[in-house]
Amino acid sequence: MYYNSILETIGNTPLVKLNDLADDLPGTILVKVEYFNPGQSVKDRIGLKMIEDAEEQGLIEPGGTIIEGTSGNTGMGLALAAVIKGYDCIFTTTDKQSKSKIDLLRALGAEVKVCPTDVEPDDPNSYYSVAQRLSEEIPNSYYPNQYDNPSNTQAHYETTGPEIWEQTEGNVTHYVAGMGTGGTVSGTSKYLKEQNDDIKTIGIDSDGSVYKKYFDTGEFDKDEIHPYLTEGIGEDIIPDNIDMDLLDEVIQVNDKDAFLTTRALASQEGLFVGGSCGAAVHGALEYARNNSFDEDDVMVIILPDSGTRYVSKIFNDEWMEEHGFLDS
């Protein structure tokens, strides 16, 4: 058996039981390890889906250019699909993203423009605004806009949700995922709740993001926004792809807890993953310990990406010490 291209290997990632980190809890804690995708992240799923849907709708022609704002992983998914399908790529990202993410995008032939993090979303220099402007200026270009593109949510409704349901033989009781663009948490939750409405969905937010307060109160509060270092989750906007009605609880996790749990996943579970994975696991375990989690419960946590993106940051003792996350 062989695959016709690397794109056919996207999805069907494994579920792995957490052992050491969850040894005080009853029930079963599973993680869905998305670094088994060819681009080493969950975003491969949406990269391919958004391009295929754009092709079907005539939004991009052969030889065109894909332009997207990304924290790195969606860019990787789009770039892989673009290589196979013959498109150019231009990505905008923020200066808080790891250099390794930027280097990986460039390795796949993409042009990367680095924009400031600490500006309003509608500022002309924000990575959102720059991507949108370039898509208007460059002919035969396509701006997927993962934040508001329904193909993002649909990709997880069609793949991630069914995989979890089948892999747990319908026994999943709790689903946990980081809240970034909203596609992973919303699309998967929609599918799972259609199978069993009693399944609890827990969204993981980053301290410094607007999501938690918006979920709790319905208020978009700019005063909640402050800089944080965890990449890929949390927002200073409310994207169309986030559906708060599909969530049962939102838990915020700070950078230190996220990064120390990320390192623990590597050293105690052999799972070499990124910072948003640590945030998801920390928040999930906190939820399980503070709620009536019992022997029959089965929790599935999405681990979005690989630790290879963060060797110079989270897995670098000097960087961790400089930011106050490790004692020297």
User: Among all residues, which ones are annotated catalytic?
Assistant: 43
Q: What does the DSSP 8-state code read for residue 327?
A: -
Within the chain, how many helices (H) and strands (E) appear?
11, 10
Helix (H) or strand (E) holding 16, with range, is strand 15-17
Those residues whose C-beta lies under 8 Å from the C-beta of residue 55, and which sit 6 or more positions away, are 85
Spatial strand order in the sheet of 111-115: 111-115, 88-94, 65-69, 141-142
Task: Provide the token pair at 68.
Answer: 């997207």
46 burial (CB, 10 Å; 0-12 / 13-18 / 19+) is: buried
CB 187 within 8 A of CB 159: no
Nearest to 142 by CA among 55, 56, 59, 53: 59
Those residues whose C-beta lies under 8 Å from the C-beta of residue 296, and which sit 6 or more positions away, are 27, 173
CB 67 within 8 A of CB 141: yes
